[in-house]
């Protein structure tokens, strides 16, 4: 039965939350496969705004099941709060949210290490979200991580924590000059979070595979964007997980043969948070206008996002990395009211013109955008309920993007609300 991945194609913040929310009506299960509370999805339902960091936004649909897969890293405090907040606002979570026992926990020392590491890097800092994501994935790869399932047994949890704190406290006190962390204090904190989380722990790989066998439809939800992938993105200015669609398999425990298609979320302009190369960045009036009209401030950290024109070479690379079957285009409404719109169609890189951003991200900073300029439109797109109602210049712009990217657009989002969504063609089809 169909399983689809929704993935961001730029540097995150493409509006995946809105697209996932829209598609959720047509699926049975939504599963997250990587990242942690560095992500933040803003979803507007009946005028009410929800910002979710870890729990898939599918939880806001009463009849859907949500999975937080083994590839994620969990800040137990934040997840416990998020669950409590959802319940307080009337959303039932028990029996609908399942958390993999193999997901790794973000521990207090992860956040401390990240803060100290960023400070020590000075001008070379990465501009991370300081949520402990990188150090948690480091411990996972180092086989020192503590997993969500370890919350089930205090003896195991204590022994792993003690073993970790030996080395961590030596670094915390001797290198960082900070007070040592205390085992008992951490255990007391995590006991409180465990009370909330344990009821959601489950064998999520089995749940997903059995659901697929039973003909249920699953949507895998990526966090961040392709250019933040630790292997394929603009390393080292990336997050510490694989964000590409292929990671949905390893991050949830389903095989690649079960995935039928990939919906690539593409924002009609480009943004990035934190440091790193950004060829089409606009520092002046254009950047400011995109930031204000697009509300380009981080849902997680509130940081202003860097803004710039649409970058086709970058998105072409993403589409091929993800094996995209169609595009969900977001926020073209933000471009409304501009006389003309610039689009980067190629790069000039090392004296050559290139169609696709370089695999070697070190070269991206040397790539110069080659722009084309197309007509803008004055009308508000959010009132359009189909393609034909859209202003001719907007229609032309969308067709132009499809040609540039050689990939069909299935969905156009024309505003934050669920209703502001135009379906051009079926995004779910058997591949
Ligand atoms: P980390 O994921 O906190 O380690 O941050 C690494 C880089 O990824 C930084 O540049 C962050 O700004 C960026 N980043 C992490 N999560 C997101 C996100 O959800 N949206 C946009 N950028 C993100």
Averaged pLDDT, 166-187: 97
239 lines ligand 1 (CB under 6 A): yes
CB 262 within 8 A of CB 268: no
Residues of the chain with CATH 1.10.300.10: 104-200
Dihedrals φ, ψ of 117, to 5°?
-65, -45
Written as six digits, the tokens of 258 are 């079960």
420 lines ligand 1 (CB under 6 A): no
Q: Residue 403's pLDDT band (boundaries 50, 70, 90)?
A: very high
pLDDT number for residue 329: 98
Whether 274 lines ligand 1, by a CB cut-off of 6 Å, is yes
CATH level 3 topology of 3-88+204-423: Adenylosuccinate Synthetase; Chain A, domain 3 (3.90.170)
Mean pLDDT of 398-426: 95
Q: Is the pLDDT of residue 41 over 90?
A: no
Domain span(s) for CATH 3.90.170.10 in the chain: 3-88+204-423
Mutation choice for ligand 1 from 17, 131, 224, CB with most ligand atoms inside 8 A: 224
- Report DSSP state, residue 171: I
Cα–Cα distance list, 69 to 12, 204, 307 (Å): 19, 7, 31
Question: Around 58, how many Cα atoms within 13 Å sit in the side-chain half-sphere?
Answer: 27
Q: What share of the chain is helix, strand, coil (3-state, %, to 5)?
A: 40, 20, 40
pLDDT band at 93 (very low <50, low <70, confident <90, very high): very high
Encode pLDDT of 311-358 as tens digits.
999 999 999 999 999 999 999 999 999 999 999 999 999 999 999 999
* Percent of the chain's residues with pLDDT above 90: 90
pTM: 0.96
Mean pLDDT score of the chain? 95
- Give the helix/strand (H/E) hosting 6: strand 3-8
At 9-24, the pLDDT tens digits run 999 999 998 899 899 9
Look at ligand 1, atom 5, and give the residue with the nearest C-alpha: 128
| CA nearest ligand 1 atom 2, residue | 239
End-to-end, the C-alpha distance of the chain in Å comes to: 11
Report the distance separating Cα 252 and Cα 410, nearest Å: 26
Tokens of 289: 């206008």
Residues 6+ apart with CB under 8 A from 195: none
Residues carrying an active site annotation? 13, 41
- Residue 245's CB: how many other CB atoms inside 10 A? 27
| CA 400 to centroid of ligand 1, rounded, Å | 30
Mean pLDDT of 194-217: 96
Which atom of ligand 1 has the smallest separation from the CA of 228?
Answer: 8
- Any ligand 1 atom below 6 A from CB of 296: no
The domain 104-200 having CATH identifier 1.10.300.10: the answer here is yes
Give me ligand 1 centre to Cα 38, in Å.
6
Confidence class for position 1, pLDDT limits 50, 70, 90: low
CB-based contact 309:339 (threshold 8 Å):
no
Digit-coded pLDDT (tens) for 273-325: 989 999 999 999 999 999 999 999 987 778 899 999 999 999 999 999 999 99
């Amino acid at each position: 039965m169909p399983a689809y991945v929704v993935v961001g194609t730029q540097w995150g913040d493409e509006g995946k939350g809105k697209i996932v929310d829209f598609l959720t009506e047509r699926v049975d299960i939504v599963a997250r496969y990587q990242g942690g509370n560095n992500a933040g999805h803003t979803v507007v339902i009946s005028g009410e705004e929800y910002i979710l960091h870890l729990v898939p936004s599918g939880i806001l649909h009463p009849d859907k099941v949500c999975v937080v897969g083994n590839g994620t890293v969990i800040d137990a405090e934040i997840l416990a709060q998020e669950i409590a907040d959802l319940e307080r606002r009337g959303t039932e979570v028990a029996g609908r949210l399942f958390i993999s026992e193999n997901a790794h926990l973000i521990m207090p020392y992860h956040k401390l290490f990240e803060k100290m590491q960023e400070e020590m890097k000075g001008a070379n800092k990465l501009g991370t979200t300081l949520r402990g994501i990188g150090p948690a994935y480091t411990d996972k790869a180092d086989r020192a991580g503590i997993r969500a399932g370890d919350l089930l047994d205090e003896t195991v949890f204590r022994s792993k924590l003690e073993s970790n704190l030996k080395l961590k406290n030596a670094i915390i006190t001797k290198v960082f000059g900070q007070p040592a962390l205390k085992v008992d204090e951490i255990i007391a904190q995590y006991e409180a979070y465990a009370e909330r989380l344990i009821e959601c722990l489950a064998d999520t790989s089995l749940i997903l595979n059995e659901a697929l066998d039973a003909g249920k439809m699953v949507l895998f939800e990526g966090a961040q964007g392709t250019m933040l992938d630790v292997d394929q993105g603009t390393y080292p200015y990336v997050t510490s997980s694989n964000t590409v669609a292929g990671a949905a398999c390893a991050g949830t425990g389903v095989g690649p043969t079960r995935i039928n298609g990939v919906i690539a979320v593409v924002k009609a302009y480009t943004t990035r948070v934190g440091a790193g190369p950004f060829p089409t960045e606009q520092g002046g009036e254009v950047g400011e206008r995109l930031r204000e009209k697009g509300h380009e401030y981080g849902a997680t950290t509130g940081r202003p996002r860097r803004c710039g024109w649409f970058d086709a070479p970058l998105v072409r690379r993403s589409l091929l990395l993800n094996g995209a079957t169609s595009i969900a285009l977001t926020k073209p409404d933000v471009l409304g009211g501009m006389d003309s719109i610039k689009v980067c169609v190629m790069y000039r890189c090392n004296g050559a013109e290139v169609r696709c951003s370089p695999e070697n991200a070190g070269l991206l900073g040397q790539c110069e955008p080659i722009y084309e300029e197309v007509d803008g439109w004055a009308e508000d797109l959010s009132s359009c309920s189909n393609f034909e109602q859209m202003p001719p210049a907007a229609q032309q712009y969308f067709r132009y993007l499809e040609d540039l990217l050689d990939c069909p657009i299935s969905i156009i989002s024309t505003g934050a609300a669920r209703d502001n969504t135009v379906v051009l063609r079926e995004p779910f089809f058997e591949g």
